[in-house]
Structure 1
């Protein structure tokens, strides 16, 4: 128990340190700003469009959904790419050699990837509240909803990124067969258009996965009650949102550790050296 507690403390310290480095990194700062500017520019371009059959403006409806989408992308792609890269550069191998090292590694990744969401959220949400009307109607109740949707959503989707990173043969594969399905889900999860405008079978598929429910939770936090008419069943389905996200969180907590342990066991010094040689060949 003492070793595990120590590993968790070391992991938390590492995650906080990596986040500090990321915030100060010009490259990461540029990424945060790019994501925010691209999102706000898309919404501002469509600022006068109204959602069909309602008096709601499209940016007001889409912004909460896009916050949910950004969170899903960040907490799936971030751990997946990090784990795949750190398998290749030997970080995971070194963590395995330390007592409870994998526990500390995962703890650091969870904290770091969770904190990565904060700058992007702030850069999108704060200007969005000033630029677009129809947001934050629920006041304190809405912010309380945000306070449980975000952590529950992180618990639901981050294990997916860990599993993808553990199973992907290399970092390049994460961006192809790993992330393409996530982009596909974004197209059918009610992010850019109300899900009720899609075919019935598409709605069923979207509701299996957490991206739709995170978007629904975020919309319920920021939009007026009248906007619930755009949702399946004409309501925010709060308890169903909690249940589905909790189910994904439990499934991820059960699936991710054995997959990660298997990836750690299969990582060897010869594989790390082969990955380095392959990367060197690409540079040349």
Structure 2
């Protein structure tokens, strides 16, 4: 069998095993379900507010945005956290020691995090349909848009998460990434339209994939009339595809290079040193 195909098959199996283990781990289940419940509770209390200039529920407008945010969050932070933890406990060193092990490892993580993101999307969307009006899920166009926005969003964010995870060695330094990501979420129109923001803030928001993922999921699940409250007064599908595509190309170009350099630096002595530091922190 072709070595690359063997690594892909091994990675897919690894991703399936990690997914199954994840759904039998109480802490992982808490991490999956608590944000979903918190989001839905927030949407429930927002359902009475309206999008400025319309009679449409702000909660119904925010739920699709939050679905896009969840995809970006899982891609940028989920994979980076996994890489950092696995590097500290020696998992990456073991993967490096096997033929095409790093490639198989990365395939497994992509399978795991993509599946978790899709499950999270369903868990958030389904209950919201019962108390939020105006979300369209019966139209073929909605599913067609989701069918390209969601995979493209994952491709645009997962490689960037791999780059971030490769550059940060200490799990305690994740705050250096988490806080800027939360800042971008605040700027990206997830919870409120950004039309009233200064032009320079709007420009910053449109550079990064979070804004475009939120816009793409809104375009899929909201009525066409809601495009009027977006920048430019339209859903801008072409721009969404272009920006997410550029981030995907950038991530796919950088991630293999950064991962290879990170893997070359890994050794038993570095893993042992990190474990000793971790034990000292616990003590």
Query: 1:162-241 maps to which residues of 2 (within 5 A)?
Result: 162-174=162-174, 176-241=175-240
1:97-127 per-position Cα deviation (integer Å, ceiling 9, x unaligned): 1111111111111111111113322221100
Local SS of the residue matching 2:191: coil
Query: 1:118-197 maps to which residues of 2 (within 5 A)?
Result: 118-136=118-136, 139-174=139-174, 176-197=175-196
- Structure 1 segments, 4+ long, off by >4 Å, are none
Q: What is the aligned partner in structure 1 of residue 6 from structure 2?
A: 6
1:132-172 per-position Cα deviation (integer Å, ceiling 9, x unaligned): 00101661210111111110000001111101100002111
5+ long unaligned stretches in structure 2: none
Q: What is the CA–CA distance in structure 2 between the aligned matches of 1:168 and 1:155, rounded to whole Å?
A: 21
Q: Is the 8 A contact 1:168 1:178 kept in 2?
A: no
1:67 aligns with 2:82: no
Q: What is the CA–CA distance in structure 2 between the aligned matches of 1:46 and 1:233, rounded to whole Å?
A: 25
Q: What is the aligned partner in structure 1 of residue 258 from structure 2?
A: 259
Q: Is the 8 A contact 2:189 2:214 kept in 1?
A: yes
Q: What is the CA–CA distance in structure 2 between the aligned matches of 1:250 and 1:119, rounded to whole Å?
A: 25
Q: Is the 8 A contact 1:196 1:230 kept in 2?
A: yes
Question: 1:255 offset after TM fit, Å?
Answer: 0.4
Q: Is the 8 A contact 1:137 1:223 kept in 2?
A: no
Q: What is the CA–CA distance in structure 2 between the aligned matches of 1:91 and 1:30, rounded to whole Å?
A: 24
Q: What is the CA–CA distance in structure 2 between the aligned matches of 1:215 and 1:269, rounded to whole Å?
A: 42
5+ long unaligned stretches in structure 1: none
Q: Is the 8 A contact 1:220 1:236 kept in 2?
A: yes
Q: Is the 8 A contact 1:64 1:218 kept in 2?
A: yes
Q: What is the aligned partner in structure 2 of residue 269 from structure 1?
A: 268
Q: What is the CA–CA distance in structure 2 between the aligned matches of 1:31 and 1:137, rounded to whole Å?
A: 27
Q: What is the CA–CA distance in structure 2 between the aligned matches of 1:32 and 1:100, rounded to whole Å?
A: 31
Q: What is the CA–CA distance in structure 2 between the aligned matches of 1:270 and 1:94, rounded to whole Å?
A: 13
TM normalised by structure 2 equals 0.97
Q: What is the CA–CA distance in structure 2 between the aligned matches of 1:228 and 1:47, rounded to whole Å?
A: 19
Q: What is the CA–CA distance in structure 1 between the aligned matches of 2:21 and 2:200, rounded to whole Å?
A: 44
TM normalised by structure 1 equals 0.97
Q: What is the CA–CA distance in structure 2 between the aligned matches of 1:7 and 1:239, rounded to whole Å?
A: 35
Q: What is the CA–CA distance in structure 2 between the aligned matches of 1:172 and 1:268, rounded to whole Å?
A: 21
1:243-275 per-position Cα deviation (integer Å, ceiling 9, x unaligned): 111111011000011001111111111110011
